A and B are shown apart, each in its own frame.
Chain A
Amino acid sequence: MQNSLDPAAPLLEVRGISKSFGAVHALREVDFTLRAGEIHALLGENGAGKSTLIKVVTGVFPRDTGIVRIGGEEIAPRSAKAALAAGIATVYQEVNLLPNLSVAQNLFLDRQPMRFGIVREGEMRRRAKALLADFGLDIDVATPLGNYSVAIQHVTAIARAVDLSARVLILDEPTASLDRHEVEILFRIMRQLAKRGIGIVFVSHFLDQVYEISDRITVLRNGGLVGERETASLPRLELIRMMLGRELAGTTSPRASAGEHQAREVCASFENFGKAGYVAPFNLELRHGEVVGLAGLLGSGRTETARLVFGAERADCGQARVEGAPVRLHSPRDGVRHGFGYCPEERKTEGIVAELSVRENIVLALQAKRGLHRPLSRREQDEIARRYVKMLDIRPADPERPVGLLSGGNQQKVLLARWLATAPRLLVLDEPTRGIDVGAHAEIIRLIRELCDDGLALLVISSELDEIVTYSDRVVVLRDRAHIEELEGEAIDVGSILAAIAADSVAVALEAHT
């Protein structure tokens, strides 16, 4: 990174930070150095201490030991506001702005241009427009922020932070809910800011993106510092080893040949199934013991297909059949009754009931299926919970812990357990590995294979094409809310999926993949 400042002088210096919550050491003697003008990836599995480090540096949590210097000057912010005043701004995954206020009001919240005690709306909008133009954004700043995409909300949050003269910008999983094109926009802005001498801390689970954008990488594990490396000289395998502290086991398994598929019995089929304005009518056969992958860009109709198949959304045409017999599929209850299960992408808002225990979350679908009058006794619940906690290696292995306190990967396993407990015939998994750490990632993929070997039919959505290729027997490719191609057996590889997605439309977003 070339910039006017001395690259050797650190912009943000964190030395020997420790932080405990009760008996838990969340951070132990962690160092972190951010230079001006660099994009520095902060990586680690869930629970490695990334969030805690950020919160300690930005004053959200008080620290136990250690010092934080910015531009050589020691700071001890007591709140995020104080940290901002010192020049450190954080943009979280869930943008912490006010969706009901306009873009301009969000940008100038707490510092609106005033005259005689009255906000000068015109002036504010003009300045907001100019500010966003810097970021290559030309939008109506009078519109409520919530009407815009998450990408634009992120850019707005960044613009606000930078305009508040932040020198250090911490982006916590900024790309988690962005599509490829939006990621490009964000990355362009990040590079632009780095050129201006702003130091950017980039926290992400997407290793592709880390390699694409970052200059250096700091890895944390179990609250301790593993190391700091130049991105360019760090092989991916080595990075994963640093994050995991062990070699990643291979995840490939022999794929059944095309002939074998035909022999399998059809579990559920959908003919001309669709909903106007949601996803175009499609034909889909799901067979026992088979994984069908849904591939496509964000917004291509993957999730929409999954929701129609499960019954979370009601189709307005077509016919669903289960084991050959026509069925009604109007609600999730119908889906559950037919032996379907659905792990949605939005684990927190649509999956777990955070306040309830692991046990209660696991038995929820089974209990709903059995009905009110046939309650599972406490002993049966304990038995079921214990079985799945053991089988899926849910940690901590405490069935009475509120599920909201578990890490993302373990929450995902609880959701899997919820459906497995209902002895389903078909499981629909929407991004089962999104936002969970590398170790749990491999484990979930292994589970998908195992379940399939047990005769379950699986429909799996993933943005990670490598992953889809690894476990799918068939891959349905979607584009613009329609099923465009079905790949089978030997024909499944990343290249052919990309080719199908890119067939005749814009291929801009795909360059990074190939």
Chain B
Amino acid sequence: MTALLPRRGFAQILALIVILAVDRVVSPQFFDLRLQDGRLFGSLIDVLNRGTPVALLSLGMVLVIATRGIDLSVGAVMAICGAIAASLADTHGLPVVLAAALGAGLVCGLWNGFLVAVLGMQPIVATLILMVAGRGIAQLITEGRIVTFSSPDLVWLGNGSVLGLPVPVVIALSMLILTGAVVRGSALGLLIEATGGNARASELAGVGTRAMIIAVYVWCGICAALAGVIAAADIMGADANNAGLWLELDAILAVVIGGTSLFGGRFSLVLAVLGALIIQTMNTGILLSGYPPEFNLLVKAVVVLAVLLLQSPKLSGFAGIATRLKRTKA
């Protein structure tokens, strides 16, 4: 695995370096870091901090996509869980707030998993339901208003720092390590890849494919809940209309940039998070460059295309022939 990573991640690391270099050109202070009140500040920290929600989403999304599924509802789940956290923040302690928000994310994931694994719905349709309904639910929770709070505990979650790093970054990093430990430390990783690679064959080999699928949607829901809580904590309020809006697309993009195929099978958690960082590094760079943010989307499209082409086996000589051989033999 360790031997594979550098080769597999080559395109992503190269892309990140190039984008960082461009950022350095448009904004000479890009790499400057300064310590203030025990906390690091600077564009790089900003990238990590702003990239947290999508990085968290991509952690769940990459597992879902590895099973050949997709979860369009993560943005809406963020809104729901953010709304729950915000409405409870000033009356309950942080543990209760977190338990309620993450519990809601878990229920959302169970719902998606139930539709996909038990009822056999196509993932894109199944999760579209919650994508649409979820914002409605979030608005019901906030009663159509933007709910603000001042609970210092929750605010700390979005704006505090640990060992100089913003709390959201620490949370995302911990989640990456936790997910990696669970997935690669147990047999889950292999069984998820087998399920995504060939569900029928895996089932006949005795793999509980249904349980696998439910588990990844649940994990995706929990990751989205965490992202929602952090997004709410960041702005000290919950906006049911805009929290996590379109972030499901960024998460999918991050996973794809990370080299995981939408057809399921092999996945990489680290590269998916790297994908999220690539997206955020671009966003930040464009903001710093002073170009109007409208350019953001265009530049993003170009960079994504470039990363995908870099990964494409067709563009890398013999590897291209090998895959074509494989395809024709299959």
Residues of A within 8 A of B (CB): 21-22, 51, 55, 60, 310, 312, 332-333, 335-337, 342, 344, 348-356, 360, 363-365, 367-376, 378, 402, 404-405, 418
Question: Contact: B194 with A405, CB < 8 Å?
Answer: no
A51, A350, A365, A405: the one within 8 Å of B200 (CB): A350
State in angstroms the CA–CA spacing of A354 and B329 once bound together.
11
State in angstroms the CA–CA spacing of A354 and B266 once bound together.
11
Question: Contact: B198 with A354, CB < 8 Å?
Answer: yes
State in angstroms the CA–CA spacing of A114 and B329 once bound together.
38
Chain B: CB-nearest residue to A400:
B4
List 16 other contacts, CB 8 Å, given A356-B193, A363-B190: A22-B318, A22-B322, A337-B206, A348-B330, A349-B200, A353-B193, A353-B202, A356-B265, A364-B191, A364-B207, A365-B206, A371-B187, A372-B187, A373-B186, A374-B187, A375-B185
CB<8 Å pairs between A and B, sample of 20: A21-B325, A22-B318, A332-B204, A332-B205, A333-B206, A335-B206, A344-B204, A348-B330, A353-B201, A354-B330, A355-B266, A356-B265, A356-B266, A367-B190, A368-B208, A372-B187, A373-B187, A375-B190, A405-B329, A418-B205
State in angstroms the CA–CA spacing of A332 and B204 once bound together.
5
Chain B: CB-nearest residue to A406:
B329
User: How many residues on the B side are at the interface (Cβ–Cβ under 8 A)?
Assistant: 30
Question: Contact: A353 with B203, CB < 8 Å?
Answer: no
* Mask: chain B, 250-273; 1 = CB below 8 Å from A; 0 = not: 000000000000000110000000
B7 to chain A, nearest CB (A): 13
**Neighbouring B residues of A356 by C-beta, 8 Å:** 193-194, 197, 265-266
Question: Contact: A368 with B206, CB < 8 Å?
Answer: yes
Given contacts A21-B325, A333-B206, A404-B326, contact A364 B186 (CB under 8 A): no
State in angstroms the CA–CA spacing of A376 and B185 once bound together.
10
Query: How many residue-residue contacts, CB under 8 A, span A and B?
Result: 101
State in angstroms the CA–CA spacing of A418 and B203 once bound together.
13
State in angstroms the CA–CA spacing of A7 and B197 once bound together.
50
Given contacts A22-B318, A369-B206, contact A353 B194 (CB under 8 A): yes
Question: Contact: B329 with A368, CB < 8 Å?
Answer: no
Chain B: CB-nearest residue to A26:
B325
Residues of B within 8 A of A (CB): 1, 185-188, 190-191, 193-194, 197-198, 200-208, 265-266, 318, 321-322, 325-326, 328-330
Interface majority SS (helix, strand, loop, mixed), chain B: helix
Chain A CB count within 10 A is highest, among B186, B193, B206, B266, for B206
Given contacts A51-B328, A355-B265, contact A375 B186 (CB under 8 A): yes
Question: Contact: A21 with B321, CB < 8 Å?
Answer: yes
**Neighbouring B residues of A348 by C-beta, 8 Å:** 330
A103 to chain B, nearest CB (A): 27
A55, A352, A355, A372: the one within 8 Å of B328 (CB): A55
Chain B: CB-nearest residue to A363:
B190
Chain B CB count within 10 A is highest, among A350, A355, A371, A402, for A355
A49 to chain B, nearest CB (A): 12
B188, B198, B265: the one within 8 Å of A352 (CB): B198
B110 to chain A, nearest CB (A): 18
A384 to chain B, nearest CB (A): 13
State in angstroms the CA–CA spacing of A336 and B209 once bound together.
14
Chain A: CB-nearest residue to B266:
A355
A424 to chain B, nearest CB (A): 11
State in angstroms the CA–CA spacing of A355 and B198 once bound together.
9
